[in-house]
Amino acid sequence: MSETVMLAVSAVIAEPRLREFLESPVKPAADWPERDWAGLLAAMPDQSRDELPGAIAECDGWLGGDYAAVLRELQDEDELTLRYDKATGSLVLDFAGRVDFRLPSLVWACTIARGLAGYMDGEDRGVATVTTDWNGDEIVLRLTPGRSEFRRDPEARAEEIDIRAAAEEDWPL
Q: Which residue has the higher pLDDT, 117 or 155?
A: 117
171 within some domain: no
Range of the domain at 47: 3-166
Average predicted confidence (pLDDT) for the chain: 84
82 within some domain: yes
173 within some domain: no
Burial letters 41-64, b for 16+ CB under 10 A, else e: bebbeebeeeebeebbebbbeebe
Residue-level pLDDT at 158: 59
Residue-level pLDDT at 160: 62
Q: Which residue has the higher pLDDT, 28 or 135?
A: 28
Kindly state the average pLDDT of the residues 23-37.
Answer: 90
Kindly state the average pLDDT of the residues 28-57.
Answer: 83
Residue-level pLDDT at 119: 96
Q: What is the pLDDT of residues 48-58, one digit of tens each?
A: 778 889 999 99
* Residue 60 CB contacts under 8 Å (≥ 6 apart), including other chains: 28, 29, 30
154 within some domain: yes
* C-alpha span between 125 and 145 (Å, rounded): 7
Locate all alpha helices (DSSP H) within 43-170, ordered by sequence. 52-62, 67-77, 102-117, 154-166
DSSP class of residue 169 equals S
Residue-level pLDDT at 100: 82
128 within some domain: yes
* C-alpha span between 64 and 60 (Å, rounded): 8
Q: Give the residue among 114, 12, 4, 22 at the shortest CA–CA distance from 67.
A: 22
Indicate the pairing of strand 125-132 with strand 138-144.
antiparallel
Above 70 in pLDDT, residue 109?
A: yes
Indicate the pairing of strand 79-85 with strand 3-12.
unpaired
* C-alpha span between 82 and 91 (Å, rounded): 7
Angle CA 111–132–142, to nearest 5? 45
Q: pLDDT band at 16, cuts 50/70/90?
A: very high
114 within some domain: yes
Axis crossing angle, helix 67-77 with helix 102-117, rounded to the nearest 10? 130
Q: What is the pLDDT of residues 64-97, one digit of tens each?
A: 899 999 888 887 776 788 889 988 999 999 988 8
**Total tally of structural domains belonging to the chain:** 1
172 within some domain: no
Q: Which residue has the higher pLDDT, 96 or 170?
A: 96
9 within some domain: yes
